[in-house]
Amino acid sequence: MNLLIRFIIFFIISITSLNAETVAVKCHIDEEHSYSFLFNFNDKKATWLDQNNQDMIITIFPDVDKGGKLLIMGGVGKNNEKHTFIIDVVKAVVNVSTNLGFHKSGKCGNKSIIEPKDPYAD
């Protein structure tokens, strides 16, 4: 329970600053499935918090300023179940697929994980 309280506090602090180097994100699929990640934008690294802080294998880390918005990453869950996550970092939508046939999508909050820069801003 203490770990959950720390995570919630860290999540709130991280969300308040979208220009931060790291952001914690919790994605909800349904009542039984949710996934928590920590994204480090400087190192282009993702950590799966639900699976003992497992570093994810990243195929594409988006550069939203150049039009990329899909973060594609994978990791191994319990019972050697291989997960593939595709996250639209602008719309905050996640798709999850596993090698055991699980395939669903959900939301990662109600605003962008990475805000694209406004090309018309000063």
Sorted by where each begins, the domain ranges of the chain are 2-107
Q: Does residue 17 surpass a pLDDT of 50?
A: no
Residue 4 has phi, psi (to 5 degrees) of -65, -40
The closest of 44, 37, 32, 106 to 75, measured between CA atoms, is 37
Per-residue model confidence (pLDDT) at position 108: 93
- Find the DSSP H helices in the chain: 2-16
pTM: 0.78
Q: Does residue 121 surpass a pLDDT of 80?
A: no
Per-residue model confidence (pLDDT) at position 19: 52
SS (H, E, C) 29-48: CCCCCEEEEEEECCCCEEEE
The closest of 45, 54, 5, 51 to 23, measured between CA atoms, is 45
- Encode pLDDT of 39-78 as tens digits: 998 888 999 999 999 999 998 888 888 888 999 999 998 8
Per-residue model confidence (pLDDT) at position 2: 62
